[in-house]
Structure 1
């Protein structure tokens, strides 16, 4: 039988407890409950945002991307590409030439991100399912076509149905010396191409990207055998991490092989750092809310001095007395924590199921705030409350154990 817990529970349920002590205890429970619920909700929202970022970029990014450690491009040849293609676990490889270029359409112009890709590019991702107008294919009936973002289309008022007016793409010529007397028009390579389709993924891509066939970009930019990156799709039954390690060993230190998260490491790290600081902030708020437990226990020690003296006279050791008040503080905190965790779980479940709270902006992927509950968040929140409860309860419990029954009775 756990005597300290039984006595603490009796104190907690006692109707004779001073009214002010009862009020402070209730305030403590409410504070812990609200803090716990808020912490679970906010952490779940950050988890949802992290997954949303992965899903957005997952529609665009390959499983693995190979880039040069130095410079923005590197030389390739048939043997080099074949060696990578034959790496165990590699399903197929896409050659990429990507750089900024100037896009002109009628009397309007815009600097865009031009991405030339080989024909298997659309097997890497889900961009083809994001096409809202026209066709995603870049090569049809012997002609080249461009796939543009909706933001590019809106800004330049490009009409996909117009089969007469092409887009004009300009890229600086690779000249070592530039003369001030040179005609600006002669400083650029220029090629025209018709618009074949429009895609919608995410604002960053919609407002900047234009996809064209690799040969078109290769000729416009004078890249020859150079490529800015190689995008690799891993077979479904293979481990991305294992294939990544194999490619690193094959390519050596002159190349980077990045998985999906590493391609956006700064953004994902920022989300994780924000989540950590939010956790620390709410943990501090829980500490402030739990200070009421300290005051209620301190007042309870004063109120129960006679009980402490009687228990001591009956043979209760200072440890038992101390544990009674630690258990009292734990009861208040646990009830508040369980209530808060249940409220947080309920709110997150409702948002996951019904999407009540909208993000308030147009997006191709979600309309409501994404939330994702993780067991680790509940465990960390519970552990934080346990630590905080011990911190605020230990002082009153020690004072209770130090009460001298001679001065009380």
Structure 2
């Protein structure tokens, strides 16, 4: 028989006295329950937002991207392409030249992200399924065409296939120079191109990106055989992680191989950091709510001085007395934590199933706040509650174990 647990349970379930101690104990349980529920809900919302970001960017991200460790471009040589294309699991390699450029149309202009891609790009990204107007081809009928994000097209009011007023793309002509020429005729490289299609992928891409043929970007930027990235499509049946490891071995230290998460590491890291700080903040709130356990145990020790003295006179050790009050605090915290956990999980399930709380924005990509429950969050919450419970219960328990028997009999 576990005597400390038996006595602690009797103290907790005792209905003989409805005094201030029981009121404070109930407040303690409610505080722990509310804190646990809030922690589970908030962490689940951050998990949902993280998954939402992955899903949004995953629509346009390649499986893997190869970039240079140093500098923004690298020389693309035949042996490099051979090592890439012969790596098991590599289905397709798209060459990319990407940089900022100035886009002009009539009397309007804006800085855009110009992305020059090789002809197989539409197999890499399925860009054809994102085209809302025009054609996905970058070269047909003997002419080069650009694909514009819907935001870019709206900003400059660009008309498709307007051969009388093509778009102009300008890039600083600073090849081999440390400073930009002040002569406007020689300061920029300039090329014209027709708008062939409008795509709608994701807002940050739609508002800034223009896709052009690789050769067009080569000529405008004077890149020659240099590339800013190589986008790799993984063949069906192969793991992205396994192909990533194989490519790192093949290419060596001069190159980075990035998966989808690593392509947006800053954004995902920001979400994780925010989640960590929110967890710490709510843990402190939970600690403050649990201080009521400290007060209720301290008052219980005072109220049960004679009981403690009798137990010690009958031979109970200081450890037994200490464990009684530690277990009493644990029972109060456990009941509150389980209640909060059940409520938190139920609310998250209801939000996932019925979308009770909407985003409140007509332009939002999802109707309701995304939530995703993870076992790791429940585990961390449990660890936090255990640490907090021990922290607030240890002092009253020590006070009880050091009571003078003769003074309290």
Same fold (TM over 0.5): yes
Equivalent runs, 1:276-287 vs 2, <5 Å:
276-287=276-287
**d(CA) in 2 for partners of 1:369 and 1:277?**
20
Q: Secondary structure at the match of 2:67?
A: strand
Q: Secondary structure at the match of 2:62?
A: coil
Q: Aligned pair 1:301/2:301, yes or no?
A: yes
Q: Secondary structure at the match of 1:384?
A: helix
TM-score (ref. length: structure 2): 0.93
Q: What's the counterpart of residue 401 of structure 2?
A: 401
Equivalent runs, 1:21-100 vs 2, <5 Å:
21-100=21-100
TM-score (ref. length: structure 1): 0.93
The change in CA–CA distance for 1:333 and 1:126 in structure 2 (over 3 A counts) is: farther
Q: Which moved more, 1:335-344 or 1:70-79?
A: 70-79
Q: Secondary structure at the match of 2:238?
A: coil
Q: Aligned pair 1:146/2:146, yes or no?
A: yes
**d(CA) in 2 for partners of 1:159 and 1:21?**
76
The change in CA–CA distance for 1:318 and 1:175 in structure 2 (over 3 A counts) is: closer
Q: Secondary structure at the match of 2:321?
A: helix
Runs of at least 5 residues in structure 2 that lack an aligned partner in the other structure: none
Paired residues of 2:181 and 2:187 also in contact (CA < 8 A)? no
Q: What's the counterpart of residue 347 of structure 1?
A: 347
Q: Which moved more, 1:193-202 or 1:36-45?
A: 193-202
Deviation per residue, 1:312-362 (Å, 9 max, x gap)? 333332222222111111111001101111111112112212222233345
Q: What's the counterpart of residue 252 of structure 1?
A: 252
Q: Secondary structure at the match of 2:125?
A: coil
Equivalent runs, 1:374-389 vs 2, <5 Å:
374-389=374-389
Q: What's the counterpart of residue 366 of structure 1?
A: 366
Q: Secondary structure at the match of 1:270?
A: helix
Q: CA deviation at 1:219?
A: 2.3
Q: What's the counterpart of residue 228 of structure 1?
A: 228
Q: What's the counterpart of residue 334 of structure 1?
A: 334
Q: What's the counterpart of residue 206 of structure 1?
A: 206
**d(CA) in 2 for partners of 1:53 and 1:390?**
38
Q: CA deviation at 1:260?
A: 1.8
**d(CA) in 1 for partners of 2:358 and 2:330?**
38
Q: Secondary structure at the match of 1:119?
A: coil
**d(CA) in 2 for partners of 1:225 and 1:109?**
29
Paired residues of 2:80 and 2:251 also in contact (CA < 8 A)? no
Q: CA deviation at 1:18?
A: 4.7
Paired residues of 1:297 and 1:396 also in contact (CA < 8 A)? yes
The count of aligned residue pairs is 408
Please, what is the CA RMSD of the aligned residues?
2.1
Paired residues of 1:133 and 1:197 also in contact (CA < 8 A)? yes
Deviation per residue, 1:356-380 (Å, 9 max, x gap)? 2233345574232221110010011
The change in CA–CA distance for 1:190 and 1:362 in structure 2 (over 3 A counts) is: farther
Paired residues of 1:64 and 1:231 also in contact (CA < 8 A)? yes
**d(CA) in 2 for partners of 1:180 and 1:267?**
37
**d(CA) in 2 for partners of 1:156 and 1:179?**
27
Q: Aligned pair 1:118/2:118, yes or no?
A: yes
Paired residues of 2:116 and 2:213 also in contact (CA < 8 A)? yes
The change in CA–CA distance for 1:181 and 1:42 in structure 2 (over 3 A counts) is: closer
**d(CA) in 2 for partners of 1:234 and 1:387?**
45
Q: Aligned pair 1:357/2:357, yes or no?
A: yes
**d(CA) in 2 for partners of 1:130 and 1:16?**
71
**d(CA) in 1 for partners of 2:210 and 2:199?**
10
The change in CA–CA distance for 1:323 and 1:216 in structure 2 (over 3 A counts) is: same
Q: Secondary structure at the match of 1:243?
A: helix
**d(CA) in 2 for partners of 1:322 and 1:378?**
29
Deviation per residue, 1:245-294 (Å, 9 max, x gap)? 22222222222222222222222222212211111111111111111000
Q: Secondary structure at the match of 1:124?
A: helix
Q: Secondary structure at the match of 2:122?
A: helix
The change in CA–CA distance for 1:163 and 1:36 in structure 2 (over 3 A counts) is: farther
Q: Which moved more, 1:79-88 or 1:328-337?
A: 79-88
Q: CA deviation at 1:22?
A: 1.2
The change in CA–CA distance for 1:365 and 1:136 in structure 2 (over 3 A counts) is: farther
**d(CA) in 1 for partners of 2:92 and 2:247?**
13
Q: CA deviation at 1:221?
A: 2.1
